[in-house]
Amino acid sequence: MKNIAPFAWGLAILATGLLNIAGVLPDWTTVAAILTLPFVALKTSMKCELPFRRAR
């Protein structure tokens, strides 16, 4: 089973944004949710790299 934490984080960000648009949450919650990206990236070992490597 693959790690679903990045997908769950993405869904939580979308839900937070939608609840903010609906007026349920205060404005600062969306900013706070987006600022959690570095923490989630560190905890799930996400890396910014291409999915393939060049053959040498």
* pTM listed for this prediction: 0.62
Domain ranges (residues) in the chain? 5-44
Average the pLDDT over 4-30 and give the result.
86
pLDDT digits (tens, 9 = 90+) for 20-50: 889 898 888 888 888 887 777 777 765 666 5
Whether residue 1 is predicted with pLDDT greater than 60 in this model: the reply is: no
Tell me how far apart the alpha carbons of residues 1 and 49 are, in angstroms, rounded to a whole number: 22
Whether residue 13 is predicted with pLDDT greater than 80 in this model: the reply is: yes
On whether the CB atoms of residues 11 and 17 are closer than 8 A, the answer is: no
Tell me how far apart the alpha carbons of residues 39 and 42 are, in angstroms, rounded to a whole number: 5
In the prediction, which pLDDT does 22 show?
92
